[in-house]
């Protein structure tokens, strides 16, 4: 599928942006250099008649993205949380991509439910509403369960969504290949790996059984989080293309007027959103990776309600510690330590100068401290960060893509609630607590206990493992002819023994 025919898809993409007027609006909103604006318009203008028309009643960017399909809509959802990057007007226009897209018919939804669950809809639900939310992949209906009378939400995948995503991702792979060929310098950003990661995320979203499992695990992890709640999954009414959960009743987190009318403190809500995300990412290593306003509500009692668990992020314990140390270093303005952590984790090539990298990080971090967050241009900041990564040969870390993307989204949500919020000040108590728990003496004892447990499980096999290592190294060192082979064998056996002993000591005490 990944062949030259994708050129047509990419041409139509550019043509659609030009035809709808989105090209000009995006470049203006992101304050792109004049040379880039001229080049983009000149290249796209001759092909504008090939672009999709879209809905002319929509704003230009929203019109283009909805016409192009679900993968592009996902991109627009991310931009909708970044008014500091794309401008307030465009962010507001893009907000409809979160849950206000054109729905498909109730009849189609009911047919999909019946095919998935094997029972008529009327036997399952006593009430079945028109769509209450429609996003890029699925839409939601409010229902009442016939057997209990409980209100619930039924999520149904869009017809043909799997094929639509496959077509777009196919084109994205082709674009990544072209970029790598035309710009060898871009290979450090690993565009193909980025698309592969995105493909994996999308595949997870297209199987609602996986989303149900994620919701269940997330609920178990966060059951004791104050001010946070999740709707309960109805497993008997869920499948691959259908998911049923309890109804989330509250004010949309993106409706500031409704939040104010209900008497909620928007500053406190913004801070809580940030701290909840950091707790989930650092404490649990499992976090909601699609925390835009369309997936969050505020209950009458002030609790934040999260739903739509199609995109969840996971990071291992080592990566969490690295991420926490980087954040902690920025909070303390200890740029030398931040630089050292990057080198220790292998994020920056060892051939680079750690002190020079620390100075570059200082130029990124210092403008943030002591400033009103509303005066910081995140667009310029991200641009400078990109220059730093290019200058020091840093490769894209695919395991951190989802974490970094969600951090951007969550900060955007928090700032939409309270524009003056400062991410570093809000993050400080959460990160400090994690550092104390995971890097201090208590953490060392915990690591030793885990190591002892692992060694205990493998204890009966250790003599055999040591013997096999010794024999293998001896065989590799013995020469069929020539002088000194006995000495080599003795030296090899001694080295192997020391190596095994050293490995055990490192595992136990390192």
> Nearest-5° angle of CA 409, CA 414, CA 419?
120
Tokens of 76: 């627009």
CA distances from 65 to 55, 201, 205 (A): 10, 20, 19
Residues 274 and 410: beta-carbon distance below 8 Å: yes
Strand order in the sheet with 296-298: 228-229, 304-306, 296-298, 251-252
- Which CB contacts under 8 angstroms, 24+ apart, belong to 336-344? 338/365, 342/394
Using the CB atoms, write b or e for 293-318: b if 16+ within 10 Å.
Answer: bbbbbbbeeeebbbbbbbbbbbbeee
What is d(CA 248, CA 229) in angstroms, rounded to the nearest whole number? 9
Tokens of 321: 């510690």
Active-site option among 99, 290, 390, 433: 290
Task: Write phi, then psi, for 230 (nearest 5 degrees).
Answer: -130, 145
CA distances from 180 to 40, 97, 184, 258 (A): 20, 30, 5, 47
Tokens of 24: 């000009």
Tokens of 200: 């994996």
Nearest to 16 by CA among 61, 75, 59: 61
What is d(CA 321, CA 283) in angstroms, rounded to the nearest whole number? 10
**Catalytic residue flag (residue 290):** yes
Question: How does DSSP classify residue 289?
Answer: S
Q: Which residues pair with 313 in a beta bridge?
A: 287
> Nearest-5° angle of CA 85, CA 86, CA 89?
135
What is d(CA 367, CA 136) in angstroms, rounded to the nearest whole number? 37
What is d(CA 231, CA 211) in angstroms, rounded to the nearest whole number? 13
- Which CB contacts under 8 angstroms, 24+ apart, belong to 430-436? 430/275, 430/278, 430/279, 430/282, 431/278, 431/282, 431/324, 431/327, 431/328, 431/331, 432/328, 432/331, 434/278, 434/282, 434/283, 434/320, 434/324, 435/324, 435/325, 435/328
As annotated, the active-site residues are 290
């Amino acid at each position: 599928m990944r062949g030259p025919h994708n050129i047509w898809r990419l041409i139509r993409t550019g043509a659609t942006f030009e035809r709808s007027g989105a090209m000009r609006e995006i470049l203006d909103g992101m304050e792109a250099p004049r040379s880039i604006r001229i080049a983009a318009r000149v290249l796209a203008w001759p092909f504008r008649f090939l672009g999709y028309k879209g809905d002319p009643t929509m704003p230009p960017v929203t019109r283009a993205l909805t016409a192009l399909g679900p993968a592009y809509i996902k991109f627009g959802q991310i931009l909708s949380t970044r008014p500091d990057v794309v401008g307030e007007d465009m962010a507001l226009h893009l907000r409809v991509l979160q849950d206000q897209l054109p729905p498909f018919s109730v009849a189609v939804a009911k047919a999909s439910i019946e095919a998935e669950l094997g029972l008529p809809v009327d036997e399952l639900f006593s009430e079945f509403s028109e769509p209450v939310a429609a996003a890029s992949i699925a839409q939601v209906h409010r229902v009442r369960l016939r057997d209990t009378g409980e209100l619930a939400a039924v999520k149904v995948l869009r017809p043909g969504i799997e094929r639509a995503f496959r077509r777009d991702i196919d084109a994205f792979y082709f674009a990544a290949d072209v970029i790598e060929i035309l710009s060898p310098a871009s290979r450090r950003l690993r565009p193909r790996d980025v698309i592969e990661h995105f493909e994996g995320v999308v595949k997870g979203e297209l199987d609602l059984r996986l989303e149900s499992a994620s919701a269940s695990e997330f609920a178990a992890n966060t059951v004791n989080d104050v001010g946070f709640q999740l709707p309960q999954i109805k497993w008997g009414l869920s499948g691959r293309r259908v998911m049923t959960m309890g109804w989330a009743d509250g004010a949309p987190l993106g409706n500031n007027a409704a939040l104010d009318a209900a008497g909620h403190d928007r500053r406190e809500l913004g801070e809580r959103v940030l701290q909840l995300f950091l707790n989930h990412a650092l404490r649990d290593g499992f976090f909601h990776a699609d925390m835009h306003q369309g997936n969050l509500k505020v209950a009458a009692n002030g609790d934040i309600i999260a739903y739509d668990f199609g995109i969840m992020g996971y990071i291992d314990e080592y990566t969490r510690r690295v991420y926490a140390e980087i954040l902690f270093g920025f909070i303390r303005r200890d740029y030398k330590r931040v630089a050292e952590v990057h080198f220790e984790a292998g994020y920056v090539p060892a051939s680079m100068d750690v002190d020079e990298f620390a100075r570059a990080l200082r130029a990124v971090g210092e403008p943030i401290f002591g400033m009103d967050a509303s005066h910081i241009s995140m667009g310029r900041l991200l641009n400078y960060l990109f220059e730093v990564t290019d200058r020091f040969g840093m490769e894209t870390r695919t395991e951190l893509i989802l974490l970094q993307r969600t951090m951007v989204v969550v900060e955007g949500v928090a700032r939409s609630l309270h524009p003056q919020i400062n991410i570093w000040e809000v993050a400080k108590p959460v990160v400090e607590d994690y550092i104390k728990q995971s890097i201090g003496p208590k953490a060392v004892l915990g690591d030793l206990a885990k190591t002892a447990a692992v060694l205990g499980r493998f204890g009966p096999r250790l003599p055999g493992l040591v013997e096999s290592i010794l024999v293998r190294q001896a065989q590799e060192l013995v020469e069929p002819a020539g002088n000194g082979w006995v000495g080599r064998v003795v030296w090899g056996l001694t080295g192997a023994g020391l190596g095994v002993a050293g490995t055990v000591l490192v595992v136990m005490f390192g």
